[in-house]
Structure 1
């Protein structure tokens, strides 16, 4: 009974962290688009947005915390269970696939959020290739992180 309650709470924390990270990434994109910018084809000159930078850093940190929480607690529980060695083959495969997909989504989301956030660093006012929509795509990947990280945690602790 206690394990079920803890499992539900961990899943809820992961979901909330990913949702907030996703909204912060999208909010960072909105803040970035409010700044002045001059665009010519693929090149863009723009002023960095301090608000977008803060939202981006928040999104990165929350996505990392959600990812570490799901992987660390899921892996610790999966390794400590005695019956895990006797788990069915499809469960092991589903666990592995969900782990790989979770890592791919997390690395992609973190990478896009870092690039978008770095473009809004105060010392980075420059012209160059357009970094349009990196923050919002990174925020959307946070939402895709929810089902796979939750699935991984649930399968690892089942």
Structure 2
């Protein structure tokens, strides 16, 4: 039963990534439409710019949510049993060190 739950969570995270990618492509198309409308000097430009911004923002939020969720879930799996982490393979220890260092880098970049 636990493996089915993990599979469902993975599929939801992948679906979130796919939807974020589709939203980002739509935002890019809307942005290109703004550039075209600016050249034609029409008044519809402001509405297209807002649409592009909203789509881009939704894409970024969805992508960030998917990645934060996946990193937190993978970190919880590793830190749930420190004895198991100490007995784990070298590859898993390196993976865990990379996960922790990626969070350090994230916090350093956001604080600057």
TM-score calculated relative to the size of structure 2:
0.71
2:13 is aligned to 14
Against the structure 1 CA distance between its residues 96 and 11, is the aligned structure 2 distance closer, same or farther, given a 3 Å change threshold?
A: farther
Show the counterpart of 1:63: 63
Displacement, 1:91?
A: 2.2
Cα 1:11–1:96 change in 2 (3 A) is farther
Decide which structure has greater strand share. Answer: 1
Q: Larger radius of gyration, structure 1 or 2? A: 2
TM superposition outliers: structure 1 runs of 4+ over 2 Å? 94-97
Higher relative contact order at CA 8 Å, sep ≥6: structure 1 or structure 2? Answer: 1
The equivalent residue for 1:155 is: none
**So what's the TM-score if we normalise by structure 1?**
0.52
Distance apart, 1:96 and its partner CA: 3.9
- Structure with the higher fraction of residues in helix conformation: 2
RMSD over aligned CA atoms reads 2.4
Q: Gaps spanning 5+ residues in structure 1: where? A: 39-46, 108-158
Identify unmatched segments of 5+ residues in structure 2.
40-44, 107-112
